[in-house]
Structure 1
Amino acid sequence: MSSVIFVVKAAGISLGGRRCLHDRAIAQCIYADPYRCLHRLNFSVSICCRRYFYLTMLKNIVAKISDRFPAEAVHAHCDGPCGVYDPADARIKAEAVLSMTKKILDLGAPDTVEKANTFARYTAIKEEQAQKTKEELLILWTDYFKPVHLEKYPDLHDTFWKATKLCSACKVEVSLEHANELMAAVEKVHNMFWATKDRVVNFYKAS
């Protein structure tokens, strides 16, 4: 028995290794049909080697199928092509900003570790909810509202622009005035949104 180096080539893969083969005819068999030979020949192939072979072969088969039958490209008009939009999410998050602003002002400057921890938590929540309010408003502004809505609401862009600016202000400040202005801006967006659907949905606060 002679020791030779063989390379398995199937579907563009190469696997190097050293095995004891009976003769060169067996080596040629491996070159010609490695998948069948791995099953029929009685020689030692490590579990790791077998796994590598099968996984690599499977990956190449999938790659070849993908190249031969590529998936058709699809396009969506927005983040959520389901068409489900609702300014309620912006209201809830803006109200959280207002609530946290009030709590921070009521708490005052922290003079103990416990108050400092509470202050940090209130501030983190306020900033997080202000950012989420901005994201909800941007989705409505860029995805839901269309140029046709500008005919009825010529101040639409200005309304959203000022509302998103207020979100940024509420993040970096502790201003009850700006928090209330944000709620008013969200209410205006709420009324504009439902008017485009010819529906009357009352604006309310949870607190």
Structure 2
Amino acid sequence: MIRKLLAWYDRKVGVETVAAHCDIPCKIYDPISAQIAALSVLRFMDLIADLDTKDLLTVADQAQLSRLVREKEDHAEKAKHEVRVIWGDYFKQPQFDKYPDASELVHNIMLAGSACKQGIERDKGEKLLALVNEFAEAFWTTKDVGTFRATCPYPPQETVVYPKLD
């Protein structure tokens, strides 16, 4: 009813209805969510590989496998989503000037994330993490923030790029 009333009012007064959407008006961006998602993909791949060592999967194992595959795919998509948001909302000409290969890198992340959704090969997860780490490094470079690499303190204990926050 409200929509009909607004439509009637807009026609009567000659106002055109417009809509706007702002993903992150607070301008808070951080690639750590994408990095954690990529780490999670690797962890799920490792857990799936552990199940593969069994001669016979019980019903409980099969249910676990189903959950692991779903989560692996969800986290691969989350990594892609988080990178797309930063690339689409944060990266403007000044950032592209500092990192001109950003669009190609994002495209490669999209492909790597899709490959992780399609398979369970660990090297695909490692590639996704490497690309997301490269993206994190580029992101922090555009903010003139230095980075360092360290092994994350939880499985799968892989190297992650972190900002140097002095």
Letter in 2 for 1:183: L
The CA distance in 2 between the partners of 1:160 and 1:153, in whole Å, is 12
Q: 1:96 aligns with which of 22, 40, 48?
A: 40
Give how far 1:71 is off.
8.2
Structure of greater Rg: 1
The CA distance in 1 between the partners of 2:63 and 2:124, in whole Å, is 24
Other structure's SS at 1:115 match: helix
Instruction: Work out the percentage of aligned pairs sharing the same amino acid.
Output: 31
Give how far 1:150 is off.
2.9
Q: Unmatched 5+ residue regions in structure 1?
A: 1-54
Give how far 1:181 is off.
1.1
User: Which deviations, in whole Å up to 9, do the C-alpha atoms of 1:39-98 show, x marking residues without a partner?
Assistant: xxxxxxxxxxxxxxxx9xx9877665555565874656x532322211111111111111
- Answer yes or no: is the 8 Å Cα contact 1:93–1:132 preserved in 2: yes
Q: How many residues align?
A: 150
Aligned to 1:148: 94
Structure with greater contact order relative to length (CA < 8 Å, sep ≥ 6): 2
Aligned to 2:84: 138
Letter in 1 for 2:27: G
- Answer yes or no: is the 8 Å Cα contact 2:99–2:142 preserved in 1: no
The CA distance in 1 between the partners of 2:7 and 2:91, in whole Å, is 41
Give how far 1:193 is off.
0.6
User: Which deviations, in whole Å up to 9, do the C-alpha atoms of 1:94-120 show, x marking residues without a partner?
Assistant: 111111011001111652211111110
Aligned to 2:23: 79
The CA distance in 2 between the partners of 1:89 and 1:191, in whole Å, is 14
Letter in 1 for 2:111: K
Letter in 1 for 2:90: Y
Give how far 1:149 is off.
2.6
- Answer yes or no: is the 8 Å Cα contact 1:141–1:160 preserved in 2: yes
Aligned to 1:175: 121
2:114 counterpart of 1:165: no
Supply the RMSD in Å over aligned alpha carbons. 2.7
- Answer yes or no: is the 8 Å Cα contact 1:187–1:203 preserved in 2: no
Letter in 2 for 1:107: L
